[in-house]
């Protein structure tokens, strides 16, 4: 692992400005199938010569849920994180305002979204899951803006401060990748429907980045049927492709994102004298996600599925592997192409009242 971390701070009038930059290059653990149908060379699987219509390799596994995999360390993953923050005080030091912006650029080989070999292999989108390549991470938050304001007042006397705190956050959504649905229980269909991989190894069947047709008349694609193409589905597919910001060819990782989210928390802290000198009562009242308290439509958290993928096309290749026969995948939705959901628990507002007694000896 290689890490570069730089921080610079400078007073600018009444403000303190801090900038930081973090760059990290690191290895990741990746799974590779070994019993691919071809002999190993130096204990590693080889890339077969049989190709899909878009040029990616087709393997020749002949087992069902009886795969052999190896765990390898592979370099190439990297992250760049830039943060710029500023803070100032007001009201003779009884108030403070802080604002921070963070930008992330994170690229990885494997999203590591699960804990078992087949789920890690089957849920990490790639051109060829057995020879993984670096692409945009599903965990990247490209933009994040945070602000905090705190103000202390003395409504009940100098020894009874009342502090109001407000924290606000607005962040961009996590990346989403368009993939093929490759599920098949038939060993005889592995090559035409699953690029030659054991279905048990594929788990959620969300690990092959989709081929994006170059228009309805793409010569590598048949729409549901080559003899009688479903042109209505083809037209809908073009709308979904546009909504996901996809370019012709094999889709890149993370071409689009879930919606931005905004939340705000509020807290009041009241300090009162205790029973003895120097002791104090601390009373706190806080509201998490106060925006949702003010309006049911505010402060809602909307996101995508945990794998960061949408299976837009169910794929099957014709017998000579010259064309993809595409039909709607399990996530194909013209009116909801990103398959966005609302997290109701995270979107709720919550209030908490706390009491604490501090003994000072």
pLDDT in tens, 50-82: 999 999 999 999 988 889 999 999 999 999 999
CA pair distance 10, 123, nearest whole angstrom:
45
Sign of CA dihedral 287, 288, 290, 293: negative
Section 89-110 average pLDDT = 96
Work out the pLDDT band at 205, boundaries 50, 70, 90.
confident
Sign of CA dihedral 111, 112, 113, 116: positive
Which DSSP helix (H) or strand (E) runs through 159? Answer: none
The three-state secondary structure class of 177 is strand
For residue range 265-323, list pLDDT tens digits in order: 999 999 999 888 889 999 999 999 999 999 999 999 999 999 999 999 999 999 999 99
pLDDT at residue 113, rounded to an integer: 86
For residue range 10-46, list pLDDT tens digits in order: 999 999 999 999 999 999 999 999 999 999 998 889 9
pTM of this structure: 0.91
Q: Residue 13: which residues within 8 A CB-CB, separation 6 or more? A: none
Of 106, 109, 260, 256, which is closest to residue 175 (Cα–Cα)?
256
pLDDT at residue 73, rounded to an integer: 92
Strands 324-328 and 221-223: parallel
pLDDT at residue 172, rounded to an integer: 98
pLDDT at residue 272, rounded to an integer: 94
CA pair distance 251, 249, nearest whole angstrom:
6
pLDDT at residue 338, rounded to an integer: 97
For residue range 116-146, list pLDDT tens digits in order: 888 888 889 999 999 999 999 999 999 999 9
The beta-strand segments (E) located in 141-260 are: 143-153, 162-171, 175-181, 211-212, 221-223, 249-250, 256-257
Work out the pLDDT band at 87, boundaries 50, 70, 90.
very high
pLDDT at residue 193, rounded to an integer: 95
pLDDT at residue 257, rounded to an integer: 97
Question: Which residue's entry shows tokens 């149908």?
Answer: 37
For residue range 105-117, list pLDDT tens digits in order: 999 999 888 888 8
In the predicted structure, residue 206 carries a pLDDT above the cut 90: no
Paired tokens of 34: 């070994």
Q: Cα-atom radius of gyration of the chain, to the nearest Å? A: 27
Percent of the chain residues past pLDDT 90, beyond the cut: 87
pLDDT at residue 235, rounded to an integer: 98
In the predicted structure, residue 264 carries a pLDDT above the cut 90: yes
State residue 262 phi and psi, 5-degree precision: -135, 130
Section 315-333 average pLDDT = 97
Both ends of the chain: CA-CA distance in Å? 48
């Amino acid at each position: 692992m290689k890490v570069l971390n730089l921080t610079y701070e400078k007073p600018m009038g009444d403000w303190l400005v801090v900038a930081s930059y973090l760059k990290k290059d690191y290895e990741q653990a990746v799974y590779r199938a070994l019993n691919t149908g071809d002999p190993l060379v130096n204990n590693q699987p080889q890339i077969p010569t049989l190709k899909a219509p878009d040029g990616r390799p087709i393997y020749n596994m002949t087992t069902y849920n009886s795969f052999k995999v190896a765990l390898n360390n592979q370099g190439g993953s990297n992250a760049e994180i830039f943060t710029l923050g500023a803070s100032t005080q007001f009201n003779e030091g009884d108030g403070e305002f802080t604002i921070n912006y963070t930008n992330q650029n994170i690229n990885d080989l494997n999203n590591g979204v699960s804990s078992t070999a087949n789920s890690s292999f089957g849920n990490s989108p790639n051109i060829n899951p057995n020879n993984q390549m670096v692409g945009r991470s599903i965990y990247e938050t490209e933009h994040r803006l945070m602000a905090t304001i705190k103000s202390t007042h003395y409504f009940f006397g100098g020894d009874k401060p009342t502090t109001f705190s407000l924290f606000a956050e607005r962040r961009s959504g996590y990346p989403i990748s368009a993939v093929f649905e490759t599920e098949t229980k038939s060993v005889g269909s592995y090559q035409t429907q699953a690029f030659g991989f054991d279905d048990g190894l594929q788990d959620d069947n969300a690990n092959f980045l989709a081929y994006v047709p170059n228009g309805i008349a793409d010569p590598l694609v048949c729409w549901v049927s080559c003899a009688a193409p479903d042109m209505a589905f083809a037209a809908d597919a073009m709308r979904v492709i546009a909504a996901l910001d996809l370019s012709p060819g094999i889709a890149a990782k993370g071409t689009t994102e879930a919606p931005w989210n905004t939340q705000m928390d509020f807290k009041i802290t009241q300090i009162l004298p205790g029973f003895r000198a120097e002791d104090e009562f601390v009373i706190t009242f806080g509201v998490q996600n106060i925006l949702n308290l003010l309006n049911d439509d505010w402060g809602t958290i909307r996101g995508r599925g945990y794998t960061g993928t949408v299976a837009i096309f169910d794929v099957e290749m014709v017998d000579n592997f010259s064309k993809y026969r595409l039909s709607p995948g399990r996530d194909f939705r013209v009116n909801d192409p990103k398959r966005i959901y609302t997290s109701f628990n995270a979107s709720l507002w919550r209030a908490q009242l706390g009491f604490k007694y501090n003994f000072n000896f």
